[in-house]
Chains A and B, each alone.
Chain A
């Protein structure tokens, strides 16, 4: 059913034509508009004004109601009235103890969920004493080598009662195994554990560029993780499909959503092919998007993404449970938009992006620290970031009404335009042989690199404004002395000492035997590798040992040449 009668629309069209002939024409004659063309950041043309005529063709059923198919207006029926979004600031650096201390500070400041960044060696499956880990231990996240490090990371934190997000990718299945082992040791009920692993391999190959194995084995590891987690830790999200990074590497809003949906389809096909019903795992798929600079485009992006996802799950995979069609999203404001020049401006940028995420209906959020453009945020910066969310939540009354921009002619039209463009990309991906094949061929990578270069050129030419950088430049402001989070030089040695102690005290024969068994299992595609991995971490096998055992079987990934 359509929202407007044909007569009403006809009338509007007539009136608009009159207005264009009279008021508009004379205004344009006396003063032309500033730009010849107006469009969103992702290139969707923008009209001067939207009317009911622009939304007349959209069926009411495509809007629906919050918490019901197609979820355009929100993931839950009561949204922020029932439960505000989770303030989830990511943190991680140095030894597990250092991050643990930061967690306790943030909980005290009012944070409601935890989120962990890991250092690069951990992400890439290398122990802290690996030669390639040189200079990187504990640098951009916390260093984890063994199950004991995970225990230290969450020391004094009740994992049954606070949700934990783990930003871990190629080595995610090992970190999950360690997390489960710690929970078991502490006597927790595994069915009560809540939280999210990032574990989105395809976006690694195209965006964040952290990988260990070739593409297909990496997807198999995710499949094993999803299937194991569905049974063992049913309230944990085993994956966070991360459009954020697609944007971070240069993708526009359409690419962010279209590509991540293409990956979603690929993952679902893998798990279904392994014999699991869509409704047994889809409710635990979660998403991670950026909230970027183009305010309305971003709000419409969230709405369009919810609708596209619901339709994919319902129409392509024949999901029956509504939870399988509900897109839940964690949002981070755009680190790319932050500038080192006049870095206090970053507070304003972040606040506006955060407001966009709330109007778009996010479930949890990380607001960037104002110094995030150049370092791990200090405590002061983190506190301001948390305060930003609290001000939006508690001071400005934007949470009382669900989807407050719903029904805006402009917002509904743009949501529809974005949806249409997303379907076009998904059709193309399908035609070209599917997401996994295209990742191997570098198709997504090339699109994103092209988009990144185009954006850079737009800032070069001044077409895209960056305040303080290419407009309103204040040569005197320079770069203020910023207090930078200090790096602990002792961190690496402590991790190495602990590794040596573990290797000296454990049953090395058992570890060797289990590693051989894991490698043997990996040669067959049918065996779930999680149970053996959990055995391994309990036997104090290190992250690096487990990952290299499989590298022997699968080899390493070789990136395609894309510039």
Chain B
């Protein structure tokens, strides 16, 4: 059995150098934005100059992170937020992250099932991203995708995290405003505490507010909010907002709260702190990534040092310094 596939050499498309894509990205070409995000994802060395150029044009967008346990309704909420922001004239960008299969490296990215109608009718840019092995709730290139959208004039840019419910706090270091979504019932609030995502919220949203058990979840969250302080050094009061993404009920209140938080960050000067924190984390993260890449590239050298450490002829600190090309004094 064979497939019907007549050869069509004419369809061979040429590789457009990343540098040539930059002006189109900056002018908002959807094709160029999409392609540039792929380049960032693939880690093409050729794209690094272009991404650096694009970075110089960022810093305008309000980046909103949406996280929460699986089944809370994140995609549906994002779809509702797209509509709410678009009706205020915003050009919304979305990066929705789903996990890659640890076995095959492939992924099924299903967030468009809920978002595509909103994306289509509101001309929002929605990009699905697989984690490609990256942990923490985001993909390795999520922030670069946000940069590309930022440079292309999208704002707000919503990041929807994986939703595995564990260890999703990385979004804190990526977004200005964090919305934690909980669903009523099933002890989700407890799950959120376990997952350590409760205290990172700038705004709590409770989905499916038309359900009879929603008020209890709202009350439980409000109770917890009164227990501990918010983020250190901030006088922002974290609101707890019930929403129904399906009916669109009270989504505009959530949108208003997100905007209010953005205003608060700017007026209070906290934005500067957040930007610094994001910048710092990105440098650390990138450095760590570069190291990993370097070690992976120079397997032979690494192996030699591993052997030395195992045979006790060298201690691990010295081995690390040698691999980094630093001398021992750094340790002192």
Q: Spell out A's residues near B (CB within 8 Å).
A: 214, 341, 555, 558-561, 563
Contact B114 A561 (CB under 8 A): yes
List of B residues within 8 angstroms of A558 by Cβ: 76, 114, 246
Closest to B75 in A: A561
> Nearest Cβ distance between residue B208 and chain A, in whole angstroms?
10
> Nearest Cβ distance between residue B3 and chain A, in whole angstroms?
13
10 shortest A-B CB distances, which residue pairs? A561-B110, A561-B113, A563-B108, A563-B110, A559-B113, A558-B114, A561-B114, A558-B246, A561-B75, A558-B76
Contact B111 A561 (CB under 8 A): yes
List of B residues within 8 angstroms of A561 by Cβ: 75, 110-111, 113-114
Instruction: Pick 10 A–B contacts, CB within 8 A, sort by A.
Output: A214-B246, A555-B246, A555-B247, A558-B76, A558-B114, A559-B113, A561-B75, A561-B110, A563-B108, A563-B110
List of B residues within 8 angstroms of A563 by Cβ: 108, 110
1/0 contact string of B76-93 vs chain A (CB within 8 Å): 100000000000000000
List of A residues within 8 angstroms of B76 by Cβ: 558
Expressed in whole angstroms, the Cα–Cα distance for A20 and B246 within the complex equals: 63
List of A residues within 8 angstroms of B247 by Cβ: 555
Interface size on B, residues (CB 8 A): 10
A-B CB pair tally, cutoff 8 Å: 16
List of A residues within 8 angstroms of B110 by Cβ: 561, 563
List of B residues within 8 angstroms of A559 by Cβ: 113
State the main secondary structure of chain A at its contact with B: loop
Closest to B111 in A: A561
List of A residues within 8 angstroms of B114 by Cβ: 558, 561
Expressed in whole angstroms, the Cα–Cα distance for A341 and B1 within the complex equals: 10
Closest to B110 in A: A561
Give residues of chain B (96-112) contacting chain A, Cβ–Cβ below 8 Å: 108, 110-111
List of A residues within 8 angstroms of B113 by Cβ: 559-561
Give residues of chain B (245-285) contacting chain A, Cβ–Cβ below 8 Å: 246-247
> Nearest Cβ distance between residue A68 and chain B, in whole angstroms?
44
> Nearest Cβ distance between residue A347 and chain B, in whole angstroms?
22
For the A-B complex with A341-B1, A560-B113, A561-B113 known, give 13 more contacts whose Cβ atoms are closer than 8 Å.
A214-B246, A555-B246, A555-B247, A558-B76, A558-B114, A558-B246, A559-B113, A561-B75, A561-B110, A561-B111, A561-B114, A563-B108, A563-B110
Closest to B247 in A: A555
> Nearest Cβ distance between residue B161 and chain A, in whole angstroms?
15
> Nearest Cβ distance between residue B114 and chain A, in whole angstroms?
6
> Nearest Cβ distance between residue A45 and chain B, in whole angstroms?
29
Closest to A479 in B: B1
> Nearest Cβ distance between residue B253 and chain A, in whole angstroms?
20
Question: Most chain-A CB neighbours within 10 Å: which of B1, B110, B114?
Answer: B1
Question: Most chain-B CB neighbours within 10 Å: which of A560, A561, A563?
Answer: A561
List of B residues within 8 angstroms of A555 by Cβ: 246-247
List of A residues within 8 angstroms of B111 by Cβ: 561
> Nearest Cβ distance between residue B249 and chain A, in whole angstroms?
11
> Nearest Cβ distance between residue A445 and chain B, in whole angstroms?
12
Closest to B108 in A: A563
> Nearest Cβ distance between residue B219 and chain A, in whole angstroms?
23
Expressed in whole angstroms, the Cα–Cα distance for A150 and B1 within the complex equals: 44
> Nearest Cβ distance between residue B58 and chain A, in whole angstroms?
31
Expressed in whole angstroms, the Cα–Cα distance for A14 and B114 within the complex equals: 62
1/0 contact string of B223-245 vs chain A (CB within 8 Å): 00000000000000000000000
List of A residues within 8 angstroms of B1 by Cβ: 341
Expressed in whole angstroms, the Cα–Cα distance for A558 and B246 within the complex equals: 8
Expressed in whole angstroms, the Cα–Cα distance for A341 and B113 within the complex equals: 34
Expressed in whole angstroms, the Cα–Cα distance for A549 and B75 within the complex equals: 28
Expressed in whole angstroms, the Cα–Cα distance for A214 and B114 within the complex equals: 14
> Nearest Cβ distance between residue B89 and chain A, in whole angstroms?
25
1/0 contact string of B282-324 vs chain A (CB within 8 Å): 0000000000000000000000000000000000000000000
